[in-house]
Amino acid sequence: MYSTTDNHLSVAPAVAEALASGRPVVALESTIITHGMPYPQNVETALRVEQTVRDNGAVPATIAVIGGRLKAGLSAEEIEYLGRKGMAVTKASRRDLPVLVARGEDGATTVATTMIIAAMAGIRVFATGGIGGVHRGAETTMDISADLEELARTPVMVVCAGAKAILDLGLTLEYLETKGVPVIGFGTDELPAFYTRTSGFGVDYRIDSEEELAAAFRAKLAMRLGGGMLVTNPIPERYSMDPQYINSVIDEAIAEANRRGIRGKHITPFLLDRVATRTDGESLASNIQLVLNNAALAARTAKFLL
């Protein structure tokens, strides 16, 4: 049923057919399903995101590790399985893949691992909500998401809604600059901050069309510069949140995490959960809408990347 290659990769039939016949494909991550949203909204959202990709003319490839296989393209049953298991699934970044694969275990792919598996499968564009970055206090904790390193080395365009203010946005931009990752604002000069359309930080370039996004990324690929490109797409105005309100919720969540000594891979899921709970679901509704918005942009852009 799956076409198997020797590198532990299994490409779903619909995705393999699309790639073979030169039709656009958009990769989607699975940590957002298991660790980013509660059940059943996580599964509903994942299926809606896939449908949005189809509605915009591309084939969705939700990515995860299941039973030790790197899967590019999941069935609805596999999405339901991951969504129900939720946090019990290992959140898998680059460093987690070897042991999970060797043991035949499951893993939810972060931005970093989704990029790795997308690139292995030959998928050029990937849509998500927010990326990991340099955490506040990283000057002492050294907590810098592996997502940034992956953007520096793996040739996939990542469409997101910026980064959450749980991160140090200024340091995240500095890191990306050092690593040579172009940060593009789609229709904006300012880095969007996930729940809000603005952050006070500028992007490297503003681009206003899907065609030009694709042209910039194609140029990067042609020059073999290595690494990806970060496209930041602001949340639609009507779903954006009051910056003062959301930032105060985030500040409280960070203070609680520090008090409880939460560190490493657990900090991002902890903060996401706290923010969702404290805003009584308002942030979850925004989160869902921005992911759909990013999936649509990625699908429209994928057509120009063939």
**SS3 sequence of 72-87:** ECCCHHHHHHHHHHHH
Q: Which is nearer to Mn ion, 143 or 210 (CB)?
A: 143
35's CB contacts (< 8 A; 6+ apart) are 86, 87, 89, 91, 108, 268, 269, 272
300's CB contacts (< 8 A; 6+ apart) are 56, 57, 210
Q: Which is nearer to Mn ion, 169 or 213 (CB)?
A: 169
Question: Which one of 29-37, 60-68, 209-217, 221-229 is the stretch in contact with ligand PSU (CB under 6 A)?
Answer: 29-37
Residue 253 interacts with ligand PSU (CB under 6 A): yes or no = no
Question: Applying CB under 5 A, which residues contact Mn ion?
Answer: 143
Which position among 71, 91, 164, 220 bears the catalytic label?
164
Kindly state the smallest distance separating residue 43's Cβ from Mn ion, in Å: 26
With CB under 6 A as the contact rule, the residue among 24, 130, 182, 192 that binds ligand PSU is 130
Residue 136 interacts with ligand PSU (CB under 6 A): yes or no = no
Q: Which is nearer to ligand PSU, 19 or 291 (CB)?
A: 291
Residue 228 interacts with ligand PSU (CB under 6 A): yes or no = no
CA angle 56, 84, 63 (to 5 degrees): 40
Kindly state the smallest distance separating residue 219's Cβ from ligand PSU, in Å: 26
Kindly state the smallest distance separating residue 36's Cβ from ligand PSU, in Å: 3
With CB under 6 A as the contact rule, the residue among 8, 71, 136, 164 that binds ligand PSU is 164
Kindly state the smallest distance separating residue 18's Cβ from ligand PSU, in Å: 24
Q: Which is nearer to ligand PSU, 130 or 227 (CB)?
A: 130
With CB under 6 A as the contact rule, the residue among 83, 107, 132, 234 that binds ligand PSU is 132
Concerning whether 29 is annotated as a catalytic residue, the answer is yes
Residue 111 in tokens: 């931005």
Q: Which is nearer to ligand PSU, 84 or 94 (CB)?
A: 94
Concerning whether 179 is annotated as a catalytic residue, the answer is no
Interatomic CA distance for residues 247 and 245, integer angstroms? 6
With CB under 6 A as the contact rule, the residue among 268, 289, 293, 294 that binds ligand PSU is 268
Kindly state the smallest distance separating residue 134's Cβ from Mn ion, in Å: 9
Q: Which one of ligand PSU, Mn ion, none interacts with residue 228, CB within 5 to 8 A by kind? A: none
Residue 230, CA distances (Å) to 30, 104, 140, 159, 196 in order? 19, 32, 26, 6, 18
Do strands 157-160 and 25-28 pair parallel, antiparallel, or not at all (unpaired)? unpaired
Active site residues: 29, 164
Binding site for ligand PSU (CB under 6 A): 29, 31-32, 36, 110-111, 129-132, 145-147, 164, 194, 265, 268, 272
